[in-house]
Structure 1
Amino acid sequence: MTAVKVGLAQINMTVGDLRANAAKVAETARWAENNHVDILLTPELTLTGYPAEDLLLRPEFISRQLQVLEQLCRDLARHRGLHVVVGYVHEQDGALYNAAAVLSGGRVIARYLKHELPDYGVFDEKRYFAAGGEPVVFAVNGVKFGLNICEDAWFAASPALAAENGAQVLLVLNASPYSVAKQAERLGQVGRNVHGLPTVYLNKVGGQDELVFDGASFVLDAQGVVVQRLPVFEEALGIVGFDDQGRPEPLYPVNSPAWPDMHAQVYQALTLALRDYLGKSGFSSVVLGLSGGIDSALVLAVAVDAIGAQNVRCVMMPSRYTADISQIDARRMADGLNVRYDEIGIAGLASAFELALSHQFAGLEPDTTEENIQARVRGTLLMALSNKFGSLVISTGNKSELATGYCTLYGDMVGGFALLKDVPKTLVYELSRWRNRQSPVIPERIIERPPSAELRPDQTDQDSLPPYDVLDAIIELYVEKNASIKAIEAAGFERDVVAQVVRLIRINEYKRRQGAIGPKITARAFGRDWRYPITNGFRE
């Protein structure tokens, strides 16, 4: 017999929008009351959004957040018998804490201060917060619930402390960002550390700058078996019942479908990241350069799926080196998706630049300088359209290109959001094929053609780079797994190729620092994860 109903609010918060975040909690509380829920669990730092970064250093931000919490507490008093667990920033004795408050009857009946503060990868919590150390256990209808916040459940100490203090069920608030295979990692870590406590793991969902949160909340029984799960990359509500011994029973949804495969998840992550970055930044439309190549084709498909064809504009900017089939395929794809398509030739513009520089370049052979002029003309045109029409430019470069510098600063790197920044080229192909299996939107020739920047006659990417399967494998080992050069060579890669790739990664740090942000989907992304100095005398 169900003694307590726990509601899971897998919701999408906006960093800094304190009142809107509180309003969403209040709205969800009305749903909880209508469904006779006893405890409503919301994500980590619900009120501020996560990560709030240096907003947390502003005293007014903290004080206004506490005012919003007090008002929310009063507003929730009407929901008699409902306990709402809200993530917020607590201030005490001059220190800030990542905290959770249990609101009931118009007051805070319990307060938990996060114990474990992550300070690695994308996390920087020790910059802002002090660590708590005390357990919190509260009872509802005779069942005792312990609280943890995110990283606490990745170690054994905090769950053990809750169990020692009588907890029968562990409630965990989370803001755990997505990367490939992250869900399996969470299940493994949490399952090992919760000391046989049935556990409700509630994760936030939504995009926030370079991070995307996948939700994928779940409930474990005492044996660590998943008894309930919520969807990935969408807001969702769930209810799980507990009997007087703390045994869980899914009540809504009763059936929990398995999470989708990796390609579906990465595509959903990119779609949600783009939609939220635009919506939370005040943009409603995008513009991108459509080249007839696979990167821009995938970006176009994601953009249409994210915000609708009516909000997407693509521009083909052919040069004298652009193949006819590139224009044909670009136009065909744009027509198939019913997006606005324009062509602006750049041959004359590039020639004008070359003529203006002819005196300075006298006696010198053409090289990548002239190639980059073409890319920078295109970047200027896209930014002009952005300025005039208020659309955000989406850049189309992928992780493989950014790693090696196979991109043009102030050219194809311009834009407000780099959608494929953390997507290796080999995965670009895989995602394109996956998207076409759902419905064919990318012309097959775009996928099958050898990739080319089309900045000189008969150019292909492999004129300058190793084959992408080799390149991406080396990048994964060196960047994502922090492997040494010797270890990469021992994995079967040629010494000269490894040296070339590592050198390109090192000398192009300055480019990456000036590029647009983009969503993290791998274990280590350029940007928040990767913090290498630009001026750097170390050689491995």
Structure 2
Amino acid sequence: MNFGFIRVAAAIPRLKVANCQYNTAEIIETAKQAHLQGAQIVAFPELAITSYTCGDLFLQRALQNEALIGLKTILEQTRTLECIIIAGMPLLINSRLYNCAAVIKAGIILGVVPKSFIPNYSEFYEARWFCSGIDKQNETIKILGQTVPFGTDLLFEAENISGLCFGIEICEDLWTAIPPSSYQALNGATLLFNLSASNEIVGKHEYRESMIRMQSAKCAAAYVYTSSGANESTTDLVFGGHALICEYGSLLVESERFSFGEQLIACDVDIERMVSERLKNSSFTQRTTDCKFRKVAFILEEPKTDRIQRHIDAHPFVPSDLSVRNKRCNEIFSIQTSGLGKRLKHTGIEKCVIGISGGLDSTLALLVIAKTYDRLGLDRKNIHAITMPGFGTSDNTLNNSLELMRLMEVTTYQIDIKEACMKHFEDIGHDPSVYDVTYENVQARERTQILMDIANKIGGLVIGTGDLSELALGWCTYNGDHMSMYAVNSGVPKTLVKYLVQWAADYVFQDETSKVLLSILDTPISPELLPTDDAGQIRQKTEDIVGPYELHDFFLYHFVRYGAQPSKISAMAKQAFEGKYSGEAVESWLKAFLRRFFSQQFKRSCLPDGPKVGSISLSPRGDWRMPSDGDVSAWLNI
């Protein structure tokens, strides 16, 4: 099963200017290499059969004939290949010359798409030779004995792969105010190809890349771009051979520029992801054009490998590049502090109450509150921070919480909840030696009661500390730590919480504060509700119970963000975490995630307010609306 992945390739073959026989042989050889790599569609540059820099030779009948012979040779010698080939060539039709892309499969020409916009400025003077095909629609042509659809109104749609539909534009088409690919995407194209011949000048390749990335994002599509290489004529210009494959704004793979050898890049693009993006984006369907397209049907063979040929990020919420990650952390911290700041300004309340456990989540929340007060010019003594040791609190976390509160210069409380919990056990008739869910939740609710009552006493807001991952798993006590008056961490996944605290230790705070933050980072994640072991160490480790957070965040990202089916999530996770988790472990924890995600929706249905900080939010008032009694059965068949 391909899970909606399609392997595409962008090729830049060696060539000789105006030598169609040589160029054709190189195209065929490169197409065979693409086929061996499992590529299902491979695109070649603009006018690849002749070369782009032929100048007035394009007007020579000899070159036009040689181009047709080259096309015929490609048809004959790639007949047994399973991949679709898109090749650029000049084509004479009714005494007019067009700059075209021919779409070939198994010896058949599926269609020919002419270039719409013909540049005739600066170093470009294509109008000297070529006509625009912008008005060519609903036409067919006879070519090499085949009757072939011809026009700018062509889309190519797979009959056997849901959602796969591709369109083609040529070079300058992309650089216009409204590229043809925009209309193609609005009419169903999830995959876009651009056959180009873009010369190199200083800084142009960065602009070109940004434009391709942006077009792929605006069109919610994968975009495959390939441009003529360094073997083109250098009479006045130099061509670098720039090939890129982008997907929804992200660059997946890029060629090496200025190479005299052939270039072939290939990777798998996620068509299902594009369909998912469009399903959610209601604006995408609000078309502003009445453009009509013909769809050419084809059958695409399944890939020969089960391995996905692309980088799969094991930590999709956390940028791998340090500079990007630091910018992301700063942005998230700004969103959190702005959200809380607005709430304080609106209510006129200047006092906050927060429970401090010595763990990552409450640490991040306290840092957010402290910096919010600094921004608003409020006295940090109005922050009432309370640590509430219980049956499972270790000396290390207690000491970290007390030290952190001291360094933040907040009003500090230490309230031991053990005696109150024992009285509650007595009142409800629970045996305190039974460490069950009642034993745990009594402590969580006692802590929340203290926070709420102190907030009432001083006229303050209780600030929640729970994160996005805990909300997804339901790893919170209903009407316990589940509840607050404003939840600053509700949009931040656990894997990112760690990096936010690390960022704060490295760049926001110094000396003693940084030291205690690093100590908190080294502490195992735990609710500390069960008694410590004989050595006073944490016995209850969250990830031993619910599973690794890095796996759950991976599952959450692909399940909620793209609506990916569990079998696809499993295959991607196995590859992303290869060597770290077994396939059996991935499937087991995925099923656990799904069961918890469905069964714990009732907690998310009544969440307190909190800011969305990334692409995923589980707020019932915003991004995620789901019945609490939904049946998970269909999702467990991995």
TM-score normalised over the length of structure 2 = 0.44
Partner of 2:628: 534
Q: CA-to-partner distance for each residue in 1:155-199, whole Å, 9 max, x for gaps?
A: 979xxxxxxxxxxxxxxxxxxxxxxxxxx99x9379979xxxxxx
Higher mean displacement: 477-486 or 371-380: 477-486
User: How does 1:14-413 map onto structure 2 within 5 Å?
Assistant: 188=214, 261-308=327-374, 309-358=380-429, 361=430, 365-413=434-482
Q: Which amino acid aligns with 1:387?
A: N
Kindly indicate whether residue 531 of structure 2 is the aligned counterpart of residue 459 of structure 1.
Answer: no
CA-CA distance at 1:317 after TM superposition: 0.6
Identical aligned residues as a percent: 29
SS of 1:314 mapped into structure 2: strand
| Distance across 1 between alignment mates of 2:435 and 2:418 | 16
Q: CA-to-partner distance for each residue in 1:59-91, whole Å, 9 max, x for gaps?
A: xxxxxxxxxxxxxxxxxxxxxxxxxxxxxxxxx
Q: CA-to-partner distance for each residue in 1:310-367, whole Å, 9 max, x for gaps?
A: 3311000111321112121111111111111111110000001101112xx4799440
Residues 188 and 463 of structure 1: CA distance in aligned 2, closer, same or farther (over 3 Å): same
| Distance across 1 between alignment mates of 2:492 and 2:325 | 21
Partner of 1:503: 595
| Distance across 1 between alignment mates of 2:216 and 2:349 | 38
2:503 to 434, 448, 471: 434
User: How does 1:449-528 map onto structure 2 within 5 Å?
Assistant: 449-457=523-531, 458-493=539-574, 494-527=586-619, 528=622
1:423 to 480, 492, 501: 492
1:447 to 521, 541, 545: 521
Instruction: Work out whether residues 510 and 534 of structure 1, in 8 Å CA contact, stay in contact via their aligned partners in 2.
Output: yes
Q: Which amino acid aligns with 1:269?
A: I
CA-CA distance at 1:259 after TM superposition: 12
| Distance across 2 between alignment mates of 1:466 and 1:294 | 17
Residues 450 and 191 of structure 1: CA distance in aligned 2, closer, same or farther (over 3 Å): closer
| Distance across 1 between alignment mates of 2:335 and 2:600 | 27
Structure 2 unaligned residues grouped into runs of 5+: 1-180, 184-209, 220-323, 375-379, 532-538, 575-585
CA-CA distance at 1:304 after TM superposition: 0.3
CA-CA distance at 1:414 after TM superposition: 2.0
Q: Which amino acid aligns with 1:188?
A: M
Q: Which amino acid aligns with 1:414?
A: M
Instruction: Work out whether residues 463 and 487 of structure 2, in 8 Å CA contact, stay in contact via their aligned partners in 1.
Output: yes
Q: Which amino acid aligns with 1:270?
A: Q
Q: Which amino acid aligns with 2:424?
A: F
Q: Which amino acid aligns with 2:611?
A: P
| Distance across 1 between alignment mates of 2:218 and 2:442 | 56
| Distance across 2 between alignment mates of 1:260 and 1:435 | 10
| Distance across 1 between alignment mates of 2:441 and 2:369 | 26
| Distance across 1 between alignment mates of 2:571 and 2:325 | 35
Instruction: Work out whether residues 554 and 573 of structure 2, in 8 Å CA contact, stay in contact via their aligned partners in 1.
Output: no
| Distance across 1 between alignment mates of 2:629 and 2:420 | 35
Instruction: Work out whether residues 274 and 303 of structure 1, in 8 Å CA contact, stay in contact via their aligned partners in 2.
Output: yes
SS of 2:462 mapped into structure 1: strand
Q: Which amino acid aligns with 1:533?
A: P
Q: CA-to-partner distance for each residue in 1:255-281, whole Å, 9 max, x for gaps?
A: xxx997211111111111111122123
Partner of 1:216: none
Residues 287 and 490 of structure 1: CA distance in aligned 2, closer, same or farther (over 3 Å): same
Instruction: Work out whether residues 357 and 388 of structure 2, in 8 Å CA contact, stay in contact via their aligned partners in 1.
Output: yes
Q: Which amino acid aligns with 2:519?
A: R
SS of 1:533 mapped into structure 2: coil
| Distance across 1 between alignment mates of 2:325 and 2:400 | 34
Instruction: Work out whether residues 480 and 525 of structure 1, in 8 Å CA contact, stay in contact via their aligned partners in 2.
Output: no
| Distance across 1 between alignment mates of 2:426 and 2:217 | 66
| Distance across 2 between alignment mates of 1:283 and 1:519 | 18
| Distance across 2 between alignment mates of 1:291 and 1:192 | 44
| Distance across 2 between alignment mates of 1:303 and 1:366 | 34
| Distance across 2 between alignment mates of 1:447 and 1:363 | 31
SS of 2:353 mapped into structure 1: strand
The CA RMSD over aligned residues, in Å, is 2.8
SS of 1:445 mapped into structure 2: helix
Residues 192 and 452 of structure 1: CA distance in aligned 2, closer, same or farther (over 3 Å): closer
Q: CA-to-partner distance for each residue in 1:392-442, whole Å, 9 max, x for gaps?
A: 001111111111011111111221111111111110000001111122335
SS of 1:354 mapped into structure 2: helix
| Distance across 1 between alignment mates of 2:335 and 2:554 | 22
Q: CA-to-partner distance for each residue in 1:25-74, whole Å, 9 max, x for gaps?
A: xxxxxxxxxxxxxxxxxxxxxxxxxxxxxxxxxxxxxxxxxxxxxxxxxx
| Distance across 2 between alignment mates of 1:369 and 1:261 | 42
Residues 346 and 537 of structure 1: CA distance in aligned 2, closer, same or farther (over 3 Å): same
| Distance across 2 between alignment mates of 1:468 and 1:191 | 29
**Structure of higher CA gyration radius:** 2
TM-score normalised over the length of structure 1 = 0.51
Instruction: Work out whether residues 314 and 334 of structure 1, in 8 Å CA contact, stay in contact via their aligned partners in 2.
Output: yes
SS of 1:464 mapped into structure 2: helix
Instruction: Work out whether residues 372 and 411 of structure 1, in 8 Å CA contact, stay in contact via their aligned partners in 2.
Output: yes
| Distance across 1 between alignment mates of 2:217 and 2:529 | 53
| Distance across 2 between alignment mates of 1:341 and 1:334 | 6
| Distance across 2 between alignment mates of 1:383 and 1:363 | 25
Partner of 1:170: none
Residues 191 and 331 of structure 1: CA distance in aligned 2, closer, same or farther (over 3 Å): closer
Q: Which amino acid aligns with 1:489?
A: S
Structure 1 unaligned residues grouped into runs of 5+: 1-154, 158-183, 194-257
Instruction: Work out whether residues 292 and 329 of structure 1, in 8 Å CA contact, stay in contact via their aligned partners in 2.
Output: yes
CA-CA distance at 1:390 after TM superposition: 1.1
SS of 2:524 mapped into structure 1: coil
Count, aligned residues: 295
CA-CA distance at 1:463 after TM superposition: 2.5
Instruction: Work out whether residues 318 and 327 of structure 1, in 8 Å CA contact, stay in contact via their aligned partners in 2.
Output: yes
Instruction: Work out whether residues 285 and 312 of structure 1, in 8 Å CA contact, stay in contact via their aligned partners in 2.
Output: yes
